[in-house]
Amino acid sequence: MEKDVKKTHEVDLIALAQKVLEEKRLMAKFVLVAAIIGVIVAMGRTKAYTAEVILAPEMSSGGLGMADNLMDMAASFGFDIGTKSSIDAIYPEIYPTLMSSNDFIIQLLDVPVTLKESETTKTFMNHLLTDNSIPFWSYPMIWIKSLFKKKEESAGKGKIDPFRLTKIEEGLIERIRGSISCVVDKKTSIITIKVTDNDAQVAAIMADTLQQRLQKYITDYRTKKARTDVEYYARLFKESKKNYDEAREHYTSFADSNAKTVLQSYIAKQEELENEMELKQKLYSQIATQLQSAQAKVQERTPAFTIIQSSTVPNLSSSTPRSYTVLAFIVMGIGLDALWVLFGRQFMQNRRGARRQGTGS
């Protein structure tokens, strides 16, 4: 009895496959229609090219005074990383977050790019707005949305305000965010930057730009405190030098005009001016030393990046091959054919029979 129950739950896959294969003409129709749709979809998709840059940052242990700069950098982009003891463990990991932030991406819109085929130069924003083709199946939805959408100022006119972005500008930022990638290897701290675009040369230009912008961001924030010190000591140096020059001129002028005077009051005044000049000279010398030290710290804290692989114009497309798209639709057509033969046809017949019985009664 138990064996009979088990048999009733078994599915004869071979019999089902034979049932599907018996109707070869029907399968051929499904496959043909699916293949035609697949070809149309594949031809409607534009090719994409990916350029990448691989670089290694300078890794150093503590003692560089980077904690405040790192927290300032993260806070400027809306992130709170707290006070971690291991700066090197967190510092490279924040690079992808920086590159995906609105402030970082908005600065990429004005980058001039040159197209590979036409050799025309335009901003990256204009390239995204005019050179990226839209699949044909998206036009009906775009047209429907345009009927109900309020008229809005188009992007590219005037400076973008990060605080108040239009929907078009938000869309551009999302497209760029989806086309760029920054991956940091936690073990080796190797940074891999990738940019995908429908123009191979634009992808290479933007990958190189991202590398340079990232280096500039990191350099600026790591040297922020030291550069502030340099500006402060440079201002003090200028003031102290001016005060020293004035004190020296005052002393030499007084000494020359009273060279033959032997009165004690003149001698005391001369000694007072000499002491004041020496004091200002000593202060001037100390500030000059501090200025040189601050300038050395800027150089010391400037990170060094080793370019392992520079950006090059890719020759091969990184998008899914069109043949794969057609093949996927053919497989889908075979699946739909099997569903129709095994379940769909019988379901439709049962439904029609139920309707006839309902109308007959």
**For residue 51, what are the β-bridge partners?**
195
Instruction: Give the other-Cβ count within 10 Å of 155's Cβ.
Output: 21
pLDDT value at residue 207:
93
Higher pLDDT, 261 or 182: 182
Phi, psi of 123, rounded to the nearest 5 degrees: -75, 160
Confidence of residue 149 (pLDDT cuts 50, 70, 90): low
For the ranges 93-97, 130-134, 264-268, the one whose mean pLDDT is highest = 93-97
% of the chain exceeding 70 in pLDDT: 75
pLDDT tops 80 at residue 102: yes
Once rounded to an integer, what is the mean pLDDT over residues 22-36? 84
Return d(Cα 227, Cα 77) in angstroms, integer: 21
Q: Determine contact, residues 90/106, Cβ cutoff 8 Å.
A: no
C-alpha pair distances (Å), 251 with each of 181, 240, 280:
66, 16, 12
Query: Tokens representing 222?
Result: 């790591």
The residue among 47, 54, 92 whose CA lies nearest residue 207 is: 54
- Asked if residue 255 has pLDDT above 80, the reply is no
Going by pLDDT thresholds of 50, 70 and 90, the confidence category of residue 11 is low
What residues does 56 pair with on adjacent strands? 306
CA-angle at 252, arms to 250 and 256, nearest 5°:
120
Joined tokens for residue 25: 């003409």
**Predicted local confidence at residue 60, as pLDDT:** 52
The answer on pLDDT for 233 being more than 60 is yes
Please state which architecture CATH assigns to domain 49-223+302-318. 2-Layer Sandwich (3.30)
Per-residue model confidence as pLDDT tens digits over 326-360: 888 889 988 888 888 888 777 777 777 677 776 65
Residue with the bigger pLDDT between 152 and 358: it is 358
Residue with tokens 């005074």: 65
pLDDT for the residue numbered 90: 39
- Listed in sequence order, the residues at least 6 apart from 98 whose beta carbon sits closer than 8 Å to its beta carbon are 73, 77, 104, 214, 217
Alpha-carbon Rg for the chain, nearest whole angstrom, is 37
Bridge partners, residue 83, by sequence: none
Q: Are 313 and 51 in contact (CB under 8 A)?
A: yes
CA angle 284, 287, 292 (to 5 degrees): 125
**Per-residue pLDDT for 64 more than 90?**
no
pLDDT band for position 137 (cuts 50, 70, 90): low
Average the pLDDT over 198-215 and give the result: 91
Give the pLDDT of residue 1: 45
Position 263 pLDDT exceeds 50: yes
Residue 258 reports pLDDT greater than 60 = yes
Q: Do residues 201 and 115 touch, judged by C-beta distance below 8 A?
A: yes
Give the per-residue pLDDT at 204.
93
Q: According to the model, what pLDDT value does residue 86 have?
A: 40
The pLDDT tens digits for 282-321 are: 898 898 998 898 888 888 888 788 888 888 988 888 777 7
pLDDT of 111 > 80? The answer is yes
Rounded to an integer, what distance in angstroms lies between the CA atom of residue 336 and that of residue 104?
47
Mean pLDDT across the chain: 76
For residue 205, is pLDDT > 90? yes
